[in-house]
Homo-oligomer: A and B are copies of this chain.
Amino acid sequence: MLKDFDFNETRNPYAGFKRKELGERLARAQRLIKNLNIPVLIIVDGWESSGKGYVIKDLVRELNPKSYKVSVFETPTAEEEARPFLWRFWEKIPSKGNMAIFDRSFYFNLLNDLSIENGELQQGIEDISIIEKQLLDDNVIIIKFFLHQKEKTQQGRIDTLKNDVDKAFMVGERDEEQYKHYADYLEHFDEILEKSDFPFSKWHIVSTEEKKAASEKILGMSIDLIYEGIDRILGQKNGGIRYARNYIPSQKPLEKIDLGLTLTEEEYDKRKDALQLEAQRIAFQLYTKGIPTVLVFEGVDAAGKGGAIERLTREMDPRGYEVITTSAPNELEQQYHYLWRFYRNFPKKGDIKIFDRSWYGRVLVERVEGFATEKEWERAYEEINQMEAQLTKFGTLVIKFFLYIDKEEQLKRFKDRENEPDKVYKLTDEDWRNREKWDEYIDAMNEMLDRTSTPQAPWNIVSGMDKKYARINVLETFIEQATKKLNE
Residues of A within 8 A of B (CB): 11-18, 21, 25, 28-29, 31-32, 35, 224, 227-228, 230-231, 234-235, 238
Question: Which 6 residue pairs are nearest across A and B when measured between Cβ atoms?
Answer: A13-B16, A13-B17, A35-B234, A28-B231, A15-B16, A16-B16
With both beta carbons as reference points, the residue of chain B lying nearest to A18 in the complex is identified as B13
> CA–CA, A91 to B180, complex, Å?
72
Given A32-B234, A35-B238, also A16-B25 (CB < 8 A): no
Known contacts A13-B17, A35-B234; 10 additional CB pairs below 8 A are A13-B14, A13-B18, A13-B21, A15-B16, A16-B16, A28-B231, A31-B234, A31-B235, A32-B227, A227-B227
With both beta carbons as reference points, the residue of chain B lying nearest to A235 in the complex is identified as B31
With both beta carbons as reference points, the residue of chain B lying nearest to A237 in the complex is identified as B35
> CA–CA, A234 to B30, complex, Å?
12
Chain A interface main SS type = helix
Contact of A32 among B28, B224, B230 (CB under 8 A): B230
Copies per complex of this chain: 2
Q: Is the CB of A16 within 8 A of B12?
A: yes
Question: Distance in Å from the Cβ of A98 to the closest Cβ of chain B?
Answer: 15
Given A13-B21, A16-B14, A16-B15, also A28-B234 (CB < 8 A): no
Instruction: Select the residue from A13, A32, A228, A230 with max chain B CB neighbours within 10 A.
Output: A13
With both beta carbons as reference points, the residue of chain B lying nearest to A35 in the complex is identified as B234
Question: Distance in Å from the Cβ of A220 to the closest Cβ of chain B?
Answer: 9
> CA–CA, A380 to B17, complex, Å?
41
Question: Distance in Å from the Cβ of A452 to the closest Cβ of chain B?
Answer: 35
Contact of A227 among B21, B25, B231 (CB under 8 A): B25
With both beta carbons as reference points, the residue of chain B lying nearest to A228 in the complex is identified as B28
Instruction: Select the residue from A17, A18, A227, A230 with max chain B CB neighbours within 10 A.
Output: A227
Contacts of A28 in B (CB 8 A): 227-228, 231
A sample of 15 cross-chain residue pairs with beta-carbon separation below 8 angstroms, ordered by A number, consists of A11-B16, A13-B14, A13-B16, A13-B18, A25-B224, A28-B227, A28-B228, A28-B231, A31-B234, A31-B235, A32-B227, A32-B231, A32-B234, A35-B234, A35-B238
Contacts of A14 in B (CB 8 A): 13, 16
Contacts of A230 in B (CB 8 A): 32
With both beta carbons as reference points, the residue of chain B lying nearest to A27 in the complex is identified as B231
